[in-house]
Structure 1
Amino acid sequence: MRGLVLVFAATILWSSVGFFVRLLDLDVWTVLGWRSFFGAIGLFLIMLWQYGRGSGRAIAGLSRAGLVAIPVAALSMFAYVASLTLTDVANVMTIYATVPFVAAGIAFLWLGERPSRRVVIASALSFCGIALMAVTALGGSDMRGNALAFVMTLGFSFMLVLARREPGLPMAPVNLAGALICFFAALPLMPAAWPTPGQFLILAVFGLSTNALAYILFLTGGRHIPSGEASLITLLDVVLGPLWVFLAFGEVPSPMALVATATVLAATTWYILGLRFDRPGLAETEACRS
């Protein structure tokens, strides 16, 4: 029961990203930069908890795989926030839900893993839904947002496969370094006017909760429940993310977005129900998300 509660809490926090972006109503560089800054603080505290005085060695001792993962993590963080400023939250979350299938494609191309029939069928159904949503995009902003959402999905999928290939890869240092890259890249592009104290408080809660707290909640809870259950719970993100912005801001997904969401959720649920992964591995790889 404790594991279920912790994973569900992590999912609630991850699903709030779109809500925070809408609430702040700031430019993408300000949101990205300060979310990354406060997220990096939280991740550093987690590293101190995990490694103690060896935190510096954990960063300095990253393998070649870790060094490859850092810029991918940074790009994924940027694409996540930027996509939410350009298109509906429902569109972004629906595209993100295809991570298992994109990861299966990367694993096939990179590691030579042959996808199962279940993966192929679920992938085909999911991408039919995504294609329908893409061709009915209302304008250039939606198309750019959808494209960035796919970049984010591609980045997270790559990190999942990399973490499976390198099971000893520590994700906290990777996410910390990625967050710092985002902060320093966004800093010179921020407007001269700083956020208000109230906005800074929201940015701090945003970064600490969705970057750091959700990470440790999922990592802890995912070790106490089967991987399939953890994956199914995190699927709630696809429903809850659009729900929060609908309740708070009246953002209503387009009909095609709803069709795509239902299609992807059905395909992903059917796929996950047939999975038999080792429990610790999923917890580590899902924690790639920031």
Structure 2
Amino acid sequence: MATIDSAASTGRRRTGIALVTAGTLLWSLAGFFVRLLDLDVWTVFGWRAFFGALGLLAIVAWRNGGRVDRGLAGLGPVGLLAIPVSAISMFGYIGALTFTDVANVMTIYATIPFVAAGIAFLWLGERPTRRVVVASAISFAGIAAMAASALGPSDIRGNALAFAMTVGFSFLMVLSRRHPHLQMAAINLGAAAICFVIALPLMPAVWPTPVQFLILAVFGLATNALAYVLFLTGGRHIPSGEAGLIALLDVVLGPLWVFLAFGEVPTGAALFAGVVVLGATGWYLSGLASKPPADR
């Protein structure tokens, strides 16, 4: 019996790793899609949100026995507060990828564990460990070095949007831990719908071509819906520290795809900051992975 249970546990862990890795791979393609689409930020932002909302609508329906209204009705005041935060994060993500290098965006995004720890301290009173404080200080020193070299208005704007996105995602992470009953798929569905409504009147009069619409559809469904399901489903079967380490692939692969496809070479400052942040984050998460489940 113990052998059967051990084999089942190993199988669940392998499945979890595979699903989390697949979700991370899909997320890492966001910069590639933005570069592939020769469109303005509002068009990309709006239609990605539209197709993402369609995918999230199907997910909410599936999780609630075909009753989308049941998923939305269960949000409550906290869920309604989370929707605009999620919408701001969605815009920050696409805006940042449009205005600055993908490497810059991914480096700032990698500080999520530390930003979330800061929000949890201010909001929930959770005292950060010494490991978090040290890793945070190292990471933000790397980010500061990169920001100091970003003298162009576009880079400054992109870095600011990337940080707004990071703060928003971190807030949602803390919120989901504070209120584990919340259906994050329903929250993201509401956010995507709001994003599309806001972006629609700001789009140019010229519509995307059929090929561009197809790319936008794949972009929205893959990075705004399917990646979410794969990552969260797989994350149920492996430790959070292990999932966090796998998620770091996004930070490495995102710039790699745009380099291979479009020759976008990260600046020296971005490479330095990326190494610093990835090193600090990996050191922090490896400490989590080495602890027993009860201590995480």
Fold similarity call, TM over 0.5? yes
TM-score of the two chains, using structure 2 as the length reference: 0.92
> Is contact 2:97-2:105 (8 Å) kept?
yes
Bigger Rg, structure 1 or 2: 2
Question: Percent identity, aligned pairs only?
Answer: 71
Q: Which runs of 5+ in 1 are unaligned?
A: 283-290
Q: What is the correspondence of 1:53-132 to structure 2 with a 5 Å cutoff?
A: 53-132=66-145
Q: What is the correspondence of 1:146-157 to structure 2 with a 5 Å cutoff?
A: 146-157=159-170
What corresponds to 2:264 in structure 1? 251
Q: What is the correspondence of 1:172-211 to structure 2 with a 5 Å cutoff?
A: 172-211=185-224
Q: CA deviation at 1:58?
A: 1.5
Q: Which of residues 130, 155, 158 in structure 1 aligns to 2:171?
A: 158
Q: Which of residues 160, 170, 174 in structure 1 aligns to 2:183?
A: 170
Q: Which of residues 19, 38, 51 in structure 2 aligns to 1:25?
A: 38
> Is contact 2:74-2:182 (8 Å) kept?
no
- Inter-partner Cα distance in structure 1 for 2:143 and 2:98: 19
> Is contact 1:227-1:278 (8 Å) kept?
no
- Inter-partner Cα distance in structure 2 for 1:8 and 1:111: 30
- For 1:153-180, what per-residue CA distance to the aligned partner results, in whole angstroms no more than 9, with x for missing partners? 0100111111111111110100000000
- For 1:222-263, what per-residue CA distance to the aligned partner results, in whole angstroms no more than 9, with x for missing partners? 112222111100101000000000000000000010000000
Could you list the structure 1 runs, at least 4 aligned residues long, displaced by more than 3 angstroms after superposition.
276-279
- Inter-partner Cα distance in structure 1 for 2:219 and 2:165: 18
- Inter-partner Cα distance in structure 2 for 1:62 and 1:155: 18
Matched, 1:226 2:219: no
Q: Which of residues 254, 267, 279 in structure 2 aligns to 1:241?
A: 254
The letter of the residue matching 1:89 is: V
What corresponds to 2:10 in structure 1? none
SS at 2:67 equivalent: helix
Q: CA deviation at 1:278?
A: 9.7
Matched, 1:140 2:153: yes
> RMSD across aligned C-alpha pairs, in angstroms?
1.4
What is the number of equivalent residue pairs in this alignment? 280
The letter of the residue matching 2:164 is: V
Matched, 1:269 2:287: no
Q: Which runs of 5+ in 2 are unaligned?
A: 1-13
